[in-house]
Amino acid sequence: MSTISLGSWLTFGGSVDERASIEVIHRAYDLGVTFFDTADFYEGGRAEVVVGRALATLPRDRVILGTKVFFPTATGQGLGRAHVLAECDASLRRLRLDHIDLYQCHRWDPGTVLEETCRVMDDLVQAGKIRHWGVSEWTADQIADAVALCEREGLTPPATDQPRYSMLQRGIEAEVLPTCERLGLGVVVFSPLAQGVLTGKYRRGDKRPRGSRAVDPRGAGFVRPFLTRETFAALDRLRPIAADLGITLGQLALAWVLRRPEVTSAIIGATTPAQVDEDAAAAEVELDAGALEAIERALG
């Protein structure tokens, strides 16, 4: 799996047209990105359709495709057996694939017994429809319970966790990251740029950039909590650190996330090849102890 991955939430199949989406995906592949992440829920399934069309022209054995199940779709909702089976088949059709490399439980489902979810995921592995399964936004205890159940019952255990993680959202450091390391799960983090805020595109008092998530009705609610006086002050302190290193603020934020040995990959979102160029370069940035100390002071 590549250190930088490409996601598709609020981009492919929606705000970015198909031709541009495929161009972005192909540019990412050319730069060494091999993991592409999507979900059945994104744009009502259209994101999977676009990702599938883009991947159709790339070597199948050189890319890893991840998609997710949980949120409401035409076949239902949750992680119950019937919905997971139906939605896996629907995702395979939209993606035009014969198997999914990583099938992820998009959220914890309190309405389904954990064993039912673990068994249906194992059944999908045994049937060859998925290679591995993972979770997203589960707590450390929920992850540990799933692994223990699978080991006890002889089922395929989850292989990955996909939590949100950035300079501005560090909650997983206390329990989730240590649990994943202890249990051997890979960690593929999303929102490493805090919905684009850590690129520096939003500035105190400025009008929100056209086309940004801050002006998208579907994304604004995710961006707004970050647009605080404290965040803008931290960004002002981070900018000279990035400048001294000769990198962009966004590259600094991505390199900081990737500093953790538990983090396997960071998922970026992009609407243009230029954005992919900038973000992919962060994989080559190494932050020394002095830079990390300066960042901690800047973050307060």
Question: What is residue 221's predicted lDDT score, i.e. its pLDDT?
Answer: 73
Question: What is residue 225's predicted lDDT score, i.e. its pLDDT?
Answer: 82
Question: What is residue 223's predicted lDDT score, i.e. its pLDDT?
Answer: 75
The C-alpha atoms of residue 1 and residue 45 are separated, in whole angstroms, by 24
The C-alpha atoms of residue 11 and residue 270 are separated, in whole angstroms, by 7
Amino acid at 241: I
Residue 107 tokens read as: 């959220």
Mean pLDDT score, 263-270? 97
- Burial (CB count <10 Å: 0-12, 13-18, 19+), residue 128: exposed
- Among 59-63, 209-213, 236-240, 296-300, the least confident range: 209-213
pTM of the model as a whole: 0.93
Question: What is residue 204's predicted lDDT score, i.e. its pLDDT?
Answer: 66
Q: How does pLDDT run across 3-17, given as a tens digit for each residue? A: 999 999 989 999 899
- Among 56-70, 81-95, 114-128, 216-230, the least confident range: 216-230
CB neighbour list of residue 151: distance below 8 Å, 6 or more residues apart = 157
Residue for token digits 């959220």? 107
CB neighbour list of residue 72: distance below 8 Å, 6 or more residues apart = 41
First to last CA, the chain: 33
Residue 214 has pLDDT above 60, yes or no: no
Please report, rounded to a whole number, the percentage of residues in the chain having pLDDT higher than 90. 88
The C-alpha atoms of residue 27 and residue 71 are separated, in whole angstroms, by 30
Closest CA to 174 of 145, 196, 141, 198: 141
The C-alpha atoms of residue 49 and residue 145 are separated, in whole angstroms, by 34
Mean pLDDT score, 60-87? 97
Residue 219 tokens read as: 């994304």
Give the HSE-up count for residue 85: Cα atoms under 13 Å, Cβ half-sphere.
10
Closest CA to 162 of 147, 145, 146, 143: 143
42 is a catalytic site residue: yes
The C-alpha atoms of residue 8 and residue 267 are separated, in whole angstroms, by 9
Domains parsed from the chain with CATH numbers: 4-194+260-285 (3.20.20.100)
With b for 16 or more beta-carbon neighbours within 10 A and e for fewer, the 246-282 pattern comes to ebbbbbbbbbbbbeeebbbbbbbbbbebebbebbbbb
Q: Which of 42, 103, 165, 202 is catalytic?
A: 42
Closest CA to 241 of 171, 293, 277, 281: 293
DSSP string, 37-97: E--TTGGGGHHHHHHHHHHTTS-GGG-EEEEEE-S-BTTB-SS-HHHHHHHHHHHHHHHT-
Q: pLDDT category, 227, cuts 50, 70, 90?
A: confident
Greatest Cα-to-Cα distance within the chain, rounded to the nearest angstrom: 56
Residue 63 has pLDDT above 90, yes or no: yes
Residue 120 tokens read as: 């249906």
Q: pLDDT category, 222, cuts 50, 70, 90?
A: confident
Average model confidence (pLDDT) across the chain: 94
